[in-house]
A and B are shown apart, each in its own frame.
Chain A
Amino acid sequence: EVQLVESGGGLVQPGGSLRLSCAASGFTFSTYWMTWVRQTPGKGLEWVANIKYDGSEIYYVDSVKGRFTISRDNAKNSLYLQMNSLRAEDTAVYYCSKGGHCDEWGQGTLVTVSS
């Protein structure tokens, strides 16, 4: 059974940083693209970034380029999202998703950017 467990969310002030983690199990992590998607409270879904299985290709939505960094550690079956220079509009539930096309999802972790 595929399991994706996000952690690292919380309350942070504008301009601050957070690092999200996603622990994966139940599949061969090192052979799958992985994706981060976010959902602002009461709103729709926004694709944020994805990373190829070996880390050799990475893509971001424009609104996070230069501030967020997606990475992975295949030895630890883990996906990460380093978020710097956080803004109020980054407040959202962040989901980790298996595959480049989001075929399985974690339960999400809430990030709140507020002073």
Chain B
Amino acid sequence: DIQMTQSPSSLSASVGDRVTITCRASQGIRNDLGWFQQKPGKAPQRLIYAASTLQSGVPPRFSGSGSETEFTLTISSLQPEDFATYYCLQHNSYPYTFGQGTKLEIK
């Protein structure tokens, strides 16, 4: 199975900060990766697919990059509604696997 290692597992930041979350794959997965945001008590929502394509309706302060084994999700200027948990998902080979999550908290 492909292991997805997210870092950091938690992060404290302030409104207006630029933050970056990383996902590393245990083997190359091309760009077969999505990023998801989950708020407490809610279902996840996809933000980015194909590693760098913004889901319709997602604010452009979110961006994704990377390929093969290293991927990043960047939020250019944190807004209050961005404090949540973020997950990556590889869909290159079965079983698909999620990263363990990054909890983004208000400093």
Contact = CB atoms under 8 A, between A and B. Distances in A.
A112 B101 CA distance: 23
A95 B38 CA distance: 13
Contact of A45 (B42, B44, B55): B44
A5 to B, nearest CB: 11
Contacts of B23: none
Contact of A102 (B34, B42, B99): B34
Contacts of A46: 98
Interface in A88-106: 95, 100-106
Contact of B34 (A62, A95, A101, A104): A101
Nearest to A93: B43
B95 interface: yes
Contacts of B36: 45, 102
Looking at chain B's contact residues, is the secondary structure mostly helix, strand, loop, or mixed?
loop
Interface residues of B, number: 22
Given A44-B87, A45-B87, A105 B44 contact: yes
A44 B100 contact: yes
A101 to B, nearest CB: 5
A104 B49 CA distance: 12
Contacts of A100: 91
A53 B18 CA distance: 40
B23 to A, nearest CB: 13
B87 A103 contact: no
Contact of B95 (A60, A101, A103, A108): A60
A27 interface: no
